[in-house]
Chain A
Amino acid sequence: MNRPAGRRLFGKYVVVLLLLVGGVLLLSSALDLYFSYQETKAALVRIEREQAVAAAARIEQFVQDIERQVRWTTQAAFDDPVAAQEQREIDYLRLLRNIPAIAEISHLDASGKERLRVSRLGLDAIGSQEDHSRAPKFLEARAGKTYFSPVYFRNESEPYMTVAVPAGEYGVEVTVAEVTLKAIWDVVSRIRIGQAGYAYVVDSLGRLVAHPDISLVLQKRDLSALPQVRAARGRRPAGGEEDVGMIAAGLQGGRFLTAHAPIAPLGWLVFVEQPLGEAFAPLQASIVRSIILFALGLALSVLASVLLARRMVAPIRTLQAGAARIGAGDLTHRIQVRTGDELETLGDEFNRTAARLQESYAGLEQKVEARTRELTDALEQLKALADVSRAVGSTLDLETVLDTIVARAVELSATSSGVIYEYDEATGAFHLKGSHRLEEEVVEVLRATPILLGEGAVGKAVAARAPIQVADILDEREYDVARIRAIFERLGYRSVLAVPLLLEQRIMGGLVVWRQAPGRFAPEVVNLVQTLAAQSVLAIHNARLFREIEDKGRQLESASKHKSQFLANMSHELRTPLNAILGYTKLITNNIYGEVPGKIRDVLGRVDQSGRHLLSLINDVLDVSKIEAGQLVLSLGEYSMKEVVHTVATAVEALAAEKKLSLKIMAAPDLPRGRGDERRLTQAVLNLVSNAIKFTDVGEVTVQATASDGSFLVSVSDTGPGISPADQQRIFEEFQQVDSSSTRKKGGTGLGLSIARRIVELHGGRMWVDSAPGEGSTFSFTLPVRVERREAR
């Protein structure tokens, strides 16, 4: 399908060349064959015809001889009939003796009656008076013509012919001779052409007269239907001698090349025939030879065509492949075609084009290379900047950042070394904060005696708020810091570029790079160093900010600690007098100081209640502050959940009774012993139960405690107002209460739930509420039965 063009071209060439050479070869072979066939045929026919003519001549000769002899015998004339008869008899005997072919001779008188007969075949007869006056032999001979009878056979196998000639003085008598034709047969039988060629004779009627195969003759074959016989008989009147050969079927089938010759006096025809196969045997050899030659020629021509086509196609292929390579971009490729013709010119043309392309590509490549280099440089700068930015952003260690910046500045500006200073506003001096490849002695000098504002390159640059460069440090007018100039001179530094570090208009420091060659710095280098300087400003600024934030953080941290400490102390201080109040009240109501009248006792009850309320508030605040300060630490110990629940129940019994609420405690009988902070857990349960009692006006409060899978499940249900879903989240947060007048009236701080939840969570448990407005609330928590020490969270 997708054969290369060269292949196709090659194929075409081969086919065309082959057609040309092969065609010519074929034609010439065919012509050669045709002509040689014709020639061979003509030659063969000629030979056959010669044979036929020869045979005809001999037969004619034989017949004429006999006729002449017979005529001559009858020439003798005697007046005496008896003498004549005797003479005739003698003549006839002599004739029989001399000419073996004559088997019988007889004399007919003018009336057609036989007078004398001398015979080898039968008895001689004299005056038999047989009447032959009506026989054709008599009639024709009497008319003066020689009569030849048709062939007839004696003894079934011997051919005979009757010859009658006029005789006598006046030619009115007739001599009749019976002639055996065996001699003719011999002639015919002897004719041989090649192996299978033979001759035969037909009479004027087309009947077979002589043939090597006697049986055919005895059958009296009528051959007048054979095309060659018909043709020969048809032509005879014209008497043409030429072109009497033809190809026809033989007597017994098969195809024969045949020629003939007439035997004039008898009207017979001699045919000579040869089977085609044999006749053309030499031609066949020549055909085979021709075919071999043709095949050879064809093979040669194929070879020649292929070679030729290859020769023609090869340079085209080379051209094509070369053009393809050049087309594919291999411009260094040159096409090698040395044919000295148009193809070579074409190849050269290609080569020239490739060369031109290569040249222009080379130019382009150089440009691309240059551009790539520029881009690479730019990219490197960008990378360096990114590096610096990352350093600025990621590390707040100012020294590291500044070292990175100086290093990049020196590398990118291709200078020898550099430093970065931070400016100290208080002293007006520049302090070395980072350096790169700067000799230790210079660093020491710079550290020992800091450069001041307005002094040296950096001092001037900052004062001018613009980059300053010194093209030659050794020039005193340009560089005024003598102590450094001396060192630089020794170290070989010649030029310096200083860029100020400014935040808005505030001086932050300076970035300086040194070079060992004198001269001005390229604007790009100045730009670059300025960019890096800007980054340094950010870094210094960030570091300062960070320092401030750190300070603030530390302050905040200690402030928060102080706050917690303060709250702890505060509540202790608050509680001490409160304890005294509660203690005295207790003593008074217990009549330690004497009998107390009812009214006072009543008031003292209120004092006690308010005091306790205040105490619980103080305790809550203290707990919350502890939680915030992360100081709420569990004191773990063995406890019984059942006891915890009952302790709480005991504590709130009075409250419940007061509100006429029924309080149900349902602790599973097989609760395992727990490990945890019993007092804190009691506090948590108490918070839930006291809430339930506080917010429920009618109905009951149920406390349930069960254990399964290593966890306690404690729930406190009430028949109170319930809590809306939105509030359910809030109420566990500090100082959060459901915002309704009815709950607000109940007082409280909004701390109870958050403390309870925190306590449970410190134990590794979880607290939640199931409630809906008007449906009551169930606060529950789970708790690992055994709590091991946990980190306070």
Chain B
Amino acid sequence: MSRRVLVIEDQEDNRRIVRDLLTSADYEVIEAETGEAGVAMAETARPGLILMDIQLPGIDGYEATRRIKANPALHHIPIIVITSYALSGDDVKAFDAGCDDYLAKPYDPFALLAKIRERLP
């Protein structure tokens, strides 16, 4: 299985933190800044895991998750949703959209790493 992780996140800093964390842990990191780009990249790059931010320009994280999960070819790829603390009920929406796990901001990078290792050792 590929140790490739797709990070869909519009915030440069957040992307970089995840990238630095995951590369130091020997994961290959590919990145997308919008939901549409992320869905497209998931089809082309076939990552082993996807980290999905909820607040995105264009389609939001829920929609993007739904689209990926709707694709039988991508269905199996675990998606960890990073929800915003700002709005309650995010977690329910995330699971409704079909994600496999979720994490609320602000998260401990190493807690995230632990969740990724669970799904993609």
Q: Write the residues of chain A forming the contact surface with B, with a CB cutoff of 8 angstroms.
A: 568, 571-572, 575-580, 582-584, 586-587, 590, 592-593, 615, 619, 622, 626, 632-635
- Contact A619:B17 (CB < 8 A) given known A583-B109, A587-B109: no
Tell me the nearest residue of chain A to B87, going by C-beta: A568
- Closest approach, in angstroms, between the C-beta of B86 and any C-beta of chain A? 4
B106 touches A592 (CB 8 A): no
In the complex, per-residue mask of B2-26: 1 if CB is within 8 Å of any chain A CB, else 0:
0000000001011001001100100
How far, in angstroms, from A632 to B108 measured CA to CA in the complex? Answer: 25
B89 touches A586 (CB 8 A): no
A583 touches B14 (CB 8 A): yes
Q: Determine which of B21, B88, B92, B105 lies in contact with A575 in the assembled complex, contact meaning CB atoms within 8 Å.
A: B105
A577 contacts across to B, CB distance below 8 A: 13
How far, in angstroms, from A513 to B105 measured CA to CA in the complex? Answer: 73
B24 contacts across to A, CB distance below 8 A: 592
B106 contacts across to A, CB distance below 8 A: 575, 578-579, 582-583, 615
How far, in angstroms, from A635 to B20 measured CA to CA in the complex? Answer: 34
In the complex, per-residue mask of B44-87: 1 if CB is within 8 Å of any chain A CB, else 0:
00000000000100000000000000000000000000001111
A586 touches B86 (CB 8 A): no
A593 touches B11 (CB 8 A): no
How far, in angstroms, from A578 to B13 measured CA to CA in the complex? Answer: 10
A587 contacts across to B, CB distance below 8 A: 17, 20-21, 109
Q: Determine which of B17, B85, B87 lies in contact with A584 in the assembled complex, contact meaning CB atoms within 8 Å.
A: B17
- 24 pairs, A vs B, C-beta closer than 8 Å: A568-B86, A571-B86, A572-B84, A575-B85, A575-B86, A575-B105, A576-B14, A577-B13, A578-B106, A579-B13, A579-B106, A580-B11, A583-B13, A583-B17, A584-B17, A587-B17, A587-B21, A590-B109, A590-B110, A615-B106, A619-B85, A626-B88, A633-B89, A635-B91
Q: Determine which of A593, A619, A626, A633 lies in contact with B20 in the assembled complex, contact meaning CB atoms within 8 Å.
A: A593
A586 touches B110 (CB 8 A): yes
Q: Determine which of A582, A622, A635 lies in contact with B86 in the assembled complex, contact meaning CB atoms within 8 Å.
A: A622
Q: How many residues of B contact A (CB 8 A)?
A: 21
- Contact A580:B21 (CB < 8 A) given known A572-B86, A635-B92: no
- Contact A633:B88 (CB < 8 A) given known A579-B105, A580-B11: yes
A592 touches B86 (CB 8 A): no
- Contact A586:B108 (CB < 8 A) given known A576-B11, A635-B89: yes
B86 contacts across to A, CB distance below 8 A: 568, 571-572, 575, 622
- Closest approach, in angstroms, between the C-beta of A566 and any C-beta of chain B? 13
- Closest approach, in angstroms, between the C-beta of A615 and any C-beta of chain B? 6
A568 contacts across to B, CB distance below 8 A: 86-87
Give 14 A-B pairs besides A583-B14, A634-B88 with Cβ atoms closer than 8 angstroms: A572-B55, A572-B86, A576-B11, A576-B13, A576-B14, A577-B13, A578-B106, A580-B13, A583-B13, A583-B109, A586-B109, A592-B20, A593-B20, A633-B88
Tell me the nearest residue of chain B to A579, going by C-beta: B106
- Closest approach, in angstroms, between the C-beta of B89 and any C-beta of chain A? 5
B109 contacts across to A, CB distance below 8 A: 583, 586-587, 590
Most buried by B among A583, A619, A633: A583
